[in-house]
Each structure stands twice: as C-alpha cells, then as structure tokens.
Structure 1
Amino acid sequence: MIADLKEFLDEKADFYNRPEFIENDPIQIPHRFSLMQDIEIAGFLTATISWGNRKSIINDAAKMMELMENSPYDFVQNVAAKELRTLENKSIHRTFNGEDFREFILNLKKVYSKNESLEQLFLMKEDEENFFHALERFRNSFLGAKKHRSHKHVSSTYKNSSAKRLMMFLRWMVRKDKRGVDFGVWRNIDQQFLSVPLDVHTGNISRKLNLIERKQNDWKTVLEMDSVLRKFDAEDPAKYDFALFGIGVSKDF
C-alpha cells in the first residue's frame, strides 16, 4: 500500500507540476518579474494574503503590485513617508488592510537596508532539520519589537501554527527543478528541508489518503506528514504539494 501511494503521488506531482499550473495560481504574481528581489517581495506579499478564494487572492495581490508601481523592490527602497500614508485607507484583502500593507513595506524596507535578499532571514542552523526555529527567527526579525495589528498575518510556529503561507513562500523561492513553476532563486537553503504547506485542503486530502492521522492542521501535523513524505522523496518532499493540491481540485482518488 505504501509503495502504491508513493507511485500515485509521484504520478500526480509529475502531472500538476508544469507551467499550466501557474495560470490559475497565486504564484503567477511573482512570475511577472525577473529581478530576484522583485520575485521575493511579490511572492512574500502574495503568500501573505493567500487564504480564501484563489481568484480574489490573485486580484488583490495584483492590486498590491499596482500600488507598488509594478516595481516592488524599487518601491520598497525609495517610497516616501507621505506616499506610504496614502496606503493606509486602501482595501487590500479581507483582514489584511492598507495599514497592514504599509507596515509590511516599512518592515521590508528595514530588511533590505541590511540584507541583499529575504533569504538571509530564513536561513537554518546546522543542527536543524525543519523550519520550526527558522520561521520564528524570521518572524521576530521581520516584525520587530513594536506591537502592530499586522503581526497576526505572520504565523508563529512557536504557537504550533502550520505556517502554511510561509511554507508556500519557501517552496516558491527554494525548490529547484526544470518545470518552470517554482523559482529556486534562493541558493543557501536546501529543498530537502521543505514541508508541504498544510491547510484545510491539503490536510483533508492527506487524511483521506492515510498520510496523516492527526485531526488538527498544526505544526505537529506538518511533522507527521514530513515523516512520510521525506521517505517518499528525501531530496524533494515539497513536490507532493502539487499532488495533494491537484488531487483536491480534481477529486481524483
């Protein structure tokens, strides 16, 4: 049964991991850019609002890019305080409002004043086997000490969150293959440590396939899924995100 499940998931991952996937997925937003910093800013902001209807996510992420004059890195580096204030009353995506967007831009500005890439904030330490600590370090570095309502939009693994949106962003930036969907622009993080982004949909599909048993969609369940998927493909476990997502959309069991 395990061998059959691996074969099934490998087949589905192969089928869905192709350029056609981009057209209807939020990953299309960072695919509009070629500069690494544009890709990672567009990817991070798009991943941040990736909950709810996919069409709405894409439309609202495109709206953020327009507000950044479709040059996110240049905008982050050079935007004036007065211009940022005009964002505060904008409607962005559900509970992620203009005030949150403004704060995220300020945080990105701070990050890029000290780092060439967002990758620096996600680096793992030598003895770590997953992103549990790295994501919390990122959260603390990105948000800083000042309390703000936008903090709720960056999940905390230390609070047992599955951190689905951050894991999705990491997949986009880190995974390297020749299929043209994920970017693989970050060179200092090994894709063997990636996990499948866990949410209601991937969780439900995984339970139907008996990949996981836990009922909650939390970090402990991420680890449970890792324990299986990393045996299926130790070098590229996150590729199974394509399989689980595709099976969920097509209901192809």
Structure 2
Amino acid sequence: MKLSDLKDFLDEKAELYNNPDFISSDPIQIPHAFTLKEDIEISGFLAATIAWGNRKMVVNNCNRMMNFMGNSPYDFVMSHRPGDLEPLQSFVHRTFNGTDFTTFIRGLRHIYINYGGLEEIFSQNQKGNMLHAAITILKQKFFEIEHQQRTLKHIADPIRNSAAKRIHLFLRWMVRQDRAGVDLGIWKQIKPAVLSCPLDVHSGNVARKLGLITRKQDDLKALNELDTHLRSMDASDPVKYDYALFGLGVFEGWKL
C-alpha cells in the first residue's frame, strides 16, 4: 500500500474510533469524571498504570481505586495520614497490589510537593522531539521515597528499552488536543507532536501487518520505528493513529 493510501486509510479509521462513544468502554472515563486539573492527572496516572488486561475489569478496578480515595484523589494524595493507607492494602489488579498502590500514593505526594507536579516533570525534562528521557526522570524522582523493589516494575523505563505503553497512554490523555473530546488535553506546556504511540500487542500486530513496524518485539526500538512512520503521516498529531491501530486490532480483530 502506498504511503498516501495508508495515510488515508488510517485517517479514516482514526476518525471512526476517536469519538465520544469510545469513552464509555475505556479507562479514559476515569479522568473524565473529574474537573480539577490535579484530580484529572492523578486519576489518569493511576488508571493508566493498571490499564492492562480485560478493559471492563480495568475500569472496575480503577473505580475501586477512586473509591478508596473518597473520589477526591488529589486531596487524598496530599492530605492522607498513614492510617488512611491501610484500607488500600486490600487492592489487587493483576500484579499491582496494595503495597504498590500505597507506594504510588506516597510517590505522587512526593512529586507534587517537591517537583511541582506531574506536568512539570515532563515539561521540564523533554529532550528533542521525544518524552523518553522525561519518563526516566519521572521514575527516578518518583522512587526517591522508600519503596519495595517489586513496585519499580509498574513504571516502565525507556532507558531499559521499554516501549512504556502505559505512560505513553497517560501522556496521550493529558497532552493531546482532541477535537472529538476523548483525550483531555489539559497540559499546555507539551506539544502533541512529541507524543509517542502507546504500543501494545494490538497496535503492534496491526502496525506490523501494515508495514509500520518490522521489529518483532514491542520494545523501544519498535516504538521509535512506529513513531517515525506516524509522524510522517501527521507531524502535529501522530498519536491520533493510536485510535486506528487499536480499533483495527480490538474492534475489528486484525491479527498478524
């Protein structure tokens, strides 16, 4: 398929799936439930962190997380006392457990108190046209608090060749200026042009079938390959094509 034809095809699919109906079946509905900037950020960060597996189960467990925090995530993060974290120990989503949850609450508080919040971390550490370095710095600063080794795996690190799918999903939610109103676009210091596609098994398989990725692993090298192709089709909004790739894989059942 010619690049121009592929672009037309993916533009059509992106428009099809990038619409408000997408919200009701996706974890993005969690940050959509809030209006305060910090509530949107924190709920989105936590929702993206556990966004793997059955989507209905993900949404249910995201709602459980919000309920644990009294549906006021920013206030809970900033005002909690040690005893307030004890009920969180019962939380489990796949390999993300109560210890991880409480560590994330403390880590987020550390970020807001000492570094001005999540947006500041990413906007101040962007390098070139990528956010990979900022993700690495976020992880470093996040885990300056006391933590168990097991929790480190829940923030991926591009420096270890990870595609960091869930962090890039969170960044898409926060940064992308979405005319359809799905992505929230509340961060104004970062341009959508520097976003990377949240690369998972579905988007990866579809991208390979379309010739956008040649590498077999869903790692950082594959992500960079995909980003290069997507940016050649739309330099200002490359991750809109995540909707096309995801939709083709999940809703239309495309496989290798």
Question: Which TM bucket (shorter chain)?
Answer: over 0.9
Task: Report 1:97-136 matches (<5 A).
Answer: 97-123=97-123, 125=125, 127-136=127-136
Give the % identical residues: 50
Asked whether the 8 Å contact 1:63–1:92 carries over to 2, the reply is no
Q: In structure 2, what is the equivalent of residue 137 of structure 1?
A: 137
Q: In structure 1, what is the equivalent of residue 36 of structure 2?
A: 35
Task: Report 1:1-253 matches (<5 A).
Answer: 1-88=2-89, 90-123=90-123, 125=125, 127-144=127-144, 146-148=146-148, 149-251=150-252
Asked whether the 8 Å contact 2:175–2:191 carries over to 1, the reply is yes
Structure 1 residue 250 displacement after superposition: 2.8
CA distance in 1 between counterparts of 2:146 and 2:66 reads: 26
Q: Which moved more, 1:145-154 or 1:214-223?
A: 145-154
Asked whether the 8 Å contact 1:124–1:131 carries over to 2, the reply is no
Quickly say closer, same or farther: Cα 1:127–1:155, change in 2 above 3 A: closer
3-state SS, counterpart of residue 91 of structure 2: coil
User: Mind listing any 5+ residue stretches in structure 1 that lack a counterpart?
Assistant: none
**Number of aligned residues:** 252
CA distance in 1 between counterparts of 2:173 and 2:86 reads: 31
Deviation string 1:47-87 (CA, Å, 9 cap, x unpaired) is: 00011110110000000000000000111111111111332
CA RMSD of aligned residues (A): 1.5
Task: Give the alignment's TM-score, normalised by structure 2.
Answer: 0.94
CA distance in 1 between counterparts of 2:145 and 2:117 reads: 21
3-state SS, counterpart of residue 95 of structure 2: coil
Task: Give the alignment's TM-score, normalised by structure 1.
Answer: 0.95
CA distance in 2 between counterparts of 1:197 and 1:25 reads: 14
Structure 1 residue 248 displacement after superposition: 1.1
> What amino acid is aligned across from residue 140 of structure 1 in structure 2?
Q
Q: Which moved more, 1:78-87 or 1:231-240?
A: 78-87
> What amino acid is aligned across from residue 151 of structure 2 in structure 1?
S
